[in-house]
Structure 1
C-alpha cells in the first residue's frame, strides 16, 4: 500500500529491509525462538547495512533522516512474522538508543554512539519496575550522589534486550521530588549490576527479556545522561517515538496476517468450495483490511506531524490504543479463518496471534493511553 507521505527513497529502504528479512531472518528465526535471543552477529550485520542510525548524526555514522523514514523502517521490519526479532531491533533503535541521541553529551556520544549505530553495542532501557510501568514517577530505583560517583540501587522488570545488551540507559529517582528522575548510562559488567533472571513469556520468544538488579552499583558522574532530575521528561518525550514504533509493529502484523489469510482462504476448500467463496468470510476480511488501512494512514499522519514540530502526545496516545486493540482483532480473526491449523505452533499465523497480544499492553496499556488522550480534550 502506498502512502501520500512516502517517497522513492522510502521505498528503497522498504525493499532493503525486506531483502534483509528474507535472507537473514526468516530462514533462521525458528532457532532463535528456541534459543530465546537474536544472535548478535545478525544485529551487527544490520548495523553494517546502515539500518541502526537512521535518525542519528552523520558524524557518528547515522543517516540524519526524519521521523517518516524511521516509521517506514519500523513498518517494513514488522513484515517479519517473528516479533521477537522485531522488538529486539526496535528497542535498540527507537526505545533505548534515542536517549543517548537526544541527551548524550559530546563525550558520551564519542564513546558510545558510533558502536551503537554499527550494532557493536546493543542497548536496552531500564524504566519499568515490579511496581511501576507507565507510571514513571512511581519508580523506586534510587541514585545517590557520592563524591565523583553515583550509586544505584533497585530492580527493573520486563526489560527487553535485558539479558544480552551491552549498554543500559537506566531511570532512577535522584531526589525527593515526585518527578525528580535522572537517566544513567550503565555498562554490562559494572560491579553490583546483574541480570536477576531471564523471563519466560507467552510470545516474543526470540526476544531476551530480563529482571535487572542494581546493588550499590557505582558509576562515574560522567555517566549521568542529560540533566540531573530531568529524566522524567526525557522518558516522556521518548515515549512518543516508542509508541509510533509499536504502532508500526501492530500495523505490520495486521498487514502480514491479512496477506497470509488471503492466500490460505483462496486455496482451502470446505463444503464444496473455497473459503474465499463464502460471502461472510470475504466481507469480514475486507472490513479488517479497511480498518488496517485507516490505522496505517493515521500512523503516517502522526509521523508527519512529528516532522512538522507539532505536539503529538494526544495523537500518539490514540494511535497506540487503536493499533494495540486492532492488531488483536485482526490477527485473532485471521487465525480463526485458518481453522485448526491456525492453532499449530509451526504456522506463522499462530506465532502472530501470540505475539500480537502484548501490543495492547507494552509501551503503554490501552487504558493508560486512552487516559492520556482524554486528559488533553
Structure 2
C-alpha cells in the first residue's frame, strides 16, 4: 500500500485516467505516425485542469502540489503515452516562470499555459554540447531595452507547438554564466527547424530552434543576468525525479501486461507462464520494480517537503532509467516474436525508454554527481 498520496491525489488520478483513456489512448498511434500531438489536446487538458497543476489559482492554475503532477506523470507512463509533452510544459517550464518571473510575466503567460492556449518549451540543449550546459554558445547581447539573441538549440521537446521558449544564453562568449530569456513565437529572427525523427517517443514533437538576431525585450528576461545556471540547477533535481517516477510506473504497467500475456500465450502444450524460467524472470522484475517504487516514493516525499537533494535525485534517475531499460528488455523477451511487433505496448515502451538514460543528464553524469558525495 502506497502512502505518499492523499485522497485528493487519488481522486485526481481517477480524473486523469478517464481523460487519458478517452482523449489520448485512441489517438496515440496516429500522433506517433504524425510526429506531433495536436494543440487541441492541450486545450482539452487545460479545460480539465490537467496542465500546470502546481500553479496557484491566482495565475490560472489549479493550485495543486507536485503530488498531483506525479499522478499525471504516472498515468501517462502507464498508458505508454509519455510522448505527450505535458510534463515539459507544466512541471519543467512553468515552474521557472513561477519561481523567477516578475508579477507581470506570471500574469502574462501562466494563465494561458494553464488553459493550454500557450504551449511552452525550454531551450537548453545545443548541437555538440551534450550534458555540458556551460559549453552552450547561444549569445544574448544587451542593446538598450532589448537583448539580441543569436544561436541554435536542438532536441527541443514541444518545439514545434511552442509559443514560448525559455531560452538559455550567454552575455559573454568567455563566460560560463547563463541568462534566461523568454522568446515568443513570431519574434523576428526566431525560427523553428525541421521536426526531428526519433527512434522512440515519436509522437512528441522535437525540433531545432534558430535565433538570428532575435530582439527580445528585457521585460522577457527571467530573473537576473548571469543567474541562469543557478536557476537551472535548482530545477534539475525535480526533472530527474520525474524521469524516475515515469520509469517506475512504466515497469509496473508492463509487468501487469506481461503477466497477462504469458498466462494467455501457449507454447509446447502449456502457457508460457507455466515455465519456471518465465515465473522466475517475472519474480525478478517484481522484486526490482517494488524496490524502485519504494525508493522513488521516498524521494517524492522528500521533494514534497522541500528536502530532495541533488545526489538522491541523481540516484533515482540513474537507477530508474537503467532498471527500466533492463526490465523492459526482459519482458519484451517473454513476448517472443510478438515483442518485436509495434502493436504491442511492450515494444513501444522498450523503444521509448531508451532516452531515459540520456536526457535529464546521462547516466554517466548521474554517476559523477553521486561520486562527488563519496
Is the CA contact 1:67–1:304 (under 8 Å) kept in the aligned structure 2? no
Instruction: Tell me the secondary structure at the aligned position of residue 215 of structure 1.
Output: strand
- The Cα of 1:247 is off from its aligned counterpart by 1.3
Distance in 2 (CA, whole Å) between partners of 1:306 and 1:277 is 42
RMSD of aligned residue pairs (Cα, Å): 1.3
- CA offset digits 1:260-281 (Å, max 9, x no partner): 1111000101111101111111
Distance in 2 (CA, whole Å) between partners of 1:89 and 1:311 is 23
Match of residue 192 from structure 2: 195
Whether 1:277 aligns to 2:274 is: yes
Match of residue 163 from structure 1: 160
Match of residue 80 from structure 1: 79
Match of residue 301 from structure 1: 298
Distance in 2 (CA, whole Å) between partners of 1:172 and 1:113 is 22
After superposition, residues 49-198 of structure 1 pair within 5 angstroms as 49-85=48-84, 88-175=85-172, 178-198=175-195
Match of residue 24 from structure 2: 25
Match of residue 310 from structure 2: 313
Match of residue 343 from structure 2: 346
Instruction: Tell me the secondary structure at the aligned position of residue 78 of structure 2.
Output: coil
Distance in 2 (CA, whole Å) between partners of 1:375 and 1:178 is 24
- The Cα of 1:329 is off from its aligned counterpart by 0.9
- Equivalenced residue count is 374
Instruction: Tell me the secondary structure at the aligned position of residue 131 of structure 1.
Output: coil
Is the CA contact 1:83–1:352 (under 8 Å) kept in the aligned structure 2? no
- The Cα of 1:289 is off from its aligned counterpart by 1.3
Instruction: Tell me the secondary structure at the aligned position of residue 27 of structure 1.
Output: helix
Q: 1:259 aligns with which of 256, 259, 267?
A: 256
Instruction: Tell me the secondary structure at the aligned position of residue 154 of structure 2.
Output: strand
Is the CA contact 1:191–1:217 (under 8 Å) kept in the aligned structure 2? yes
- The Cα of 1:121 is off from its aligned counterpart by 0.4
Match of residue 34 from structure 1: 33
- List gaps (5 residues or longer) in structure 1: none
- The Cα of 1:176 is off from its aligned counterpart by 5.6
State the TM-score, normalized to the length of structure 1. 0.96
Is the CA contact 2:139–2:173 (under 8 Å) kept in the aligned structure 1? no
- The Cα of 1:93 is off from its aligned counterpart by 1.2
- Structure 1's 303 and 54: CA in aligned 2 closer, same or farther, altered over 3 A? same
Distance in 1 (CA, whole Å) between partners of 2:68 and 2:26 is 27
- CA offset digits 1:310-348 (Å, max 9, x no partner): 251010000000011011111111111111011112221
Distance in 2 (CA, whole Å) between partners of 1:13 and 1:179 is 42
State the TM-score, normalized to the length of structure 2. 0.97
Match of residue 286 from structure 1: 283
Is the CA contact 1:257–1:330 (under 8 Å) kept in the aligned structure 2? no
Instruction: Tell me the secondary structure at the aligned position of residue 326 of structure 1.
Output: helix
Distance in 2 (CA, whole Å) between partners of 1:108 and 1:343 is 48
Instruction: Tell me the secondary structure at the aligned position of residue 286 of structure 1.
Output: helix
After superposition, residues 233-248 of structure 1 pair within 5 angstroms as 233-248=230-245
4+ aligned runs moved over 6 Å, structure 1: none
